[in-house]
Chain A
């Protein structure tokens, strides 16, 4: 946890939130039947509790910008609502020091029938401003939203972009010490998104505390000093934004590969298998550097492809083993076989294992497909299996293309880089 020089702006200790479900009674039951049952109190007792957050603790120092990442349903929005005070924790404590503004949804309080002017007042009050403060900032709010000509028209006449601009402008001018933002930058056009990011920068420079939930991992890695990763209601990582985001990305691709692996096992006879059957490929594995089967390799690490081959007991004397790697869209990445690499066959009988070791798998992050084959020297297949295995390559940074070579930049002459550059 980051040491806080002053009192923390946000302090959450062992926060747990259980959502209680009244599902059965809500859909079927009624107050009448609850009264007739003679136990109306019982109808108000929840049926079951679903944990949304479990023992989450963290602190945010004043002036920090913190991102919250995690899959859908991991508890991010619940956390924000708890911090905002919309919901109350079932257990644990939450403290927020300073004026808080929560942007859980831009323009959430807008009423379509009344004018923009009146909606600014209500939204400002909802954000904790006083009438006087709103009156003082009114001109600036309208100017930033670029709605000078429309401010007295009912909000129902606004385009969705106009409503979003107004909602953001009110929040941005509410001058909070702590701002909570839930995925609101996903809306609005490019120019507006840019302007709102600028506003956030201004906010950071003013030493305000910002906590935001986003699925835009690039934005989190870019804009936040720190990031928190929630997984199924638990805090699994809390550290420098780039690090947390990289770990989260890794886990996502791991799960994706797992899911794909499961799908594969459940579907053994895939199309794309041809051959005479004189020898058959009975298994194909990708092994990591420790020799364990894996579906995911970090770019640049060693890897080994291994195929099990079964041939008739009567020996074959014409055989070639081959592997090919391609992208899932079908572009060839690599292909070679024992003939190309200079092996001259003598005898193949019974069960064998063929391994190809790659000392550094310099592939760009992505998903790849493997073909494995055993065939005759003239190309006639004994068993040619297409797309028999898929694996994922993970890396910290996206790369254009398929190749991620080990590399180094160097510069001579009048080039200078800032201190945090990798040179």
Chain B
């Protein structure tokens, strides 16, 4: 895949350009969408619900998690359709099939990156009101996100290869993602879960990533070694599994897609 990096980058760029050129406001939306989301959170959780004391300002806590989760879920949903969408390229050119799930992940990662100024602004506002005290721990964030992207890539390989053979992968995946969303500490910190369920929560491969993300851009604390280990193991396993499944089904992809 490394040899095809220029192609992956060009196709991901194409994906973004094509998506935004369709709309009148273009790239504006990539900033506006997360900004609106943040404003809604900030309003709702100030005026309607009162969040736990340990996750205030909750809007910031939620925004960081939802940004990262949005990246994972949309990357996987896109990869379930990528072979169908790129059928002509796959059948009529010599592009390696693994390029396409990689493009799906990279394009969604780019969306996440475009939203980072909004995250930075939110942190700035929270810091100005004294609610959080940003530190250099924030530099852990890109590392955690990079590992999360690796995990998503491994899963995208599995999802895309299976989608060639089964028509319902995307629907099934949508339901699975909704379920996983609530089983992952995106909306809540691990400490909010009942004691006896916490151990189970750590079995979720996504848990360490979201703990890491909240540590780096909400609590501004160093991520604990076992959390790093959790991320590394999840990424390695996901890439290994993804590679193995994809390799097993590789021959059928250009034939069936």
A residues at B contact (CB < 8 Å): 19-20, 22, 25-26, 29-32, 34, 43-44, 46, 81, 84-88, 100, 102, 104-105, 108-109, 111, 113-114, 118, 121-122, 125-128, 130-131, 154
B252 CB-CB contact with A under 8 Å: yes
CA distance A30 to B162 in the complex (A): 10
Name which of A30, A86, A105 has the most chain B CB atoms within 10 A of its CB: A86
* A31-B172, A113-B18 given; A22·B95 CB < 8 A: no
Contact of B255 (CB < 8 Å), options: A20, A30, A31, A126? A20
B51 CB-CB contact with A under 8 Å: no
Name the residue on A nearest B7 (C-beta): A125
Contact between A113 and B6 (Cβ–Cβ < 8 Å)? no
Contact of A85 (CB < 8 Å), options: B91, B92, B94? B94
Name which of B10, B18, B90, B92 has the most chain A CB atoms within 10 A of its CB: B92
Name the residue on B nearest A180 (C-beta): B94
Contact between A31 and B94 (Cβ–Cβ < 8 Å)? no
B167 CB-CB contact with A under 8 Å: yes
Contact of B91 (CB < 8 Å), options: A22, A32, A46, A86? A86
Contact between A113 and B17 (Cβ–Cβ < 8 Å)? yes
Cβ–Cβ < 8 Å partners of B21 in chain A: 113-114, 154
Contact between A118 and B14 (Cβ–Cβ < 8 Å)? yes
Name the residue on A nearest B245 (C-beta): A44
Name the residue on A nearest B252 (C-beta): A20
CA distance A31 to B7 in the complex (A): 31
CA distance A81 to B254 in the complex (A): 10
B249 CB-CB contact with A under 8 Å: yes
Contact between A122 and B7 (Cβ–Cβ < 8 Å)? yes
CA distance A22 to B91 in the complex (A): 18
A220 to B: closest C-beta gap in Å: 22
Contact between B18 and A114 (Cβ–Cβ < 8 Å)? yes
Contact of B169 (CB < 8 Å), options: A31, A43, A105, A111? A31
Name the residue on B nearest A123 (C-beta): B93
CA distance A25 to B166 in the complex (A): 8
What sequence of 0s and 1s flags, for each residue 181-204 of chain B, a beta carbon within 8 Å of any chain A beta carbon?
000000000000000000000000
Name which of B22, B89, B249, B250 has the most chain A CB atoms within 10 A of its CB: B89
B165 CB-CB contact with A under 8 Å: yes
Name the residue on B nearest A104 (C-beta): B92
A15 to B: closest C-beta gap in Å: 14
Contact between A44 and B249 (Cβ–Cβ < 8 Å)? yes
Contact between A30 and B166 (Cβ–Cβ < 8 Å)? yes
The DSSP consensus for interface residues of chain B is helix
Contact between A126 and B167 (Cβ–Cβ < 8 Å)? no
A26 to B: closest C-beta gap in Å: 7
Contact between A34 and B89 (Cβ–Cβ < 8 Å)? no
Contact of A30 (CB < 8 Å), options: B90, B94, B168? B168
Cβ–Cβ < 8 Å partners of B241 in chain A: none
B73 to A: closest C-beta gap in Å: 18
Cβ–Cβ < 8 Å partners of A85 in chain B: 94
Interface residues on B, range: 20 to 34
Contact between A131 and B168 (Cβ–Cβ < 8 Å)? no
Contact between B6 and A131 (Cβ–Cβ < 8 Å)? yes
Contact between A121 and B10 (Cβ–Cβ < 8 Å)? yes
Contact between B18 and A29 (Cβ–Cβ < 8 Å)? no
Contact between B6 and A130 (Cβ–Cβ < 8 Å)? yes
Cβ–Cβ < 8 Å partners of A87 in chain B: 251, 254-255
Cβ–Cβ < 8 Å partners of B6 in chain A: 125, 130-131
A10 to B: closest C-beta gap in Å: 15
Contact between B17 and A19 (Cβ–Cβ < 8 Å)? no
CA distance A18 to B175 in the complex (A): 36
B88 CB-CB contact with A under 8 Å: yes
Contact between B168 and A126 (Cβ–Cβ < 8 Å)? no
Can you offer 28 A-B residue contacts whose CB atoms are under 8 A? Answer: A20-B252, A25-B165, A26-B256, A30-B167, A31-B169, A32-B172, A34-B166, A43-B166, A44-B249, A81-B254, A84-B94, A86-B91, A86-B92, A86-B94, A87-B254, A88-B250, A88-B251, A100-B94, A104-B91, A105-B88, A105-B92, A114-B18, A122-B14, A125-B6, A125-B7, A126-B95, A127-B93, A131-B6
CA distance A419 to B184 in the complex (A): 81
* A19-B255, A114-B17, A125-B7 given; A31·B166 CB < 8 A: yes
Contact between A126 and B254 (Cβ–Cβ < 8 Å)? no
* A26-B167, A29-B166, A86-B254 given; A122·B10 CB < 8 A: yes
Contact of B168 (CB < 8 Å), options: A31, A118, A154? A31
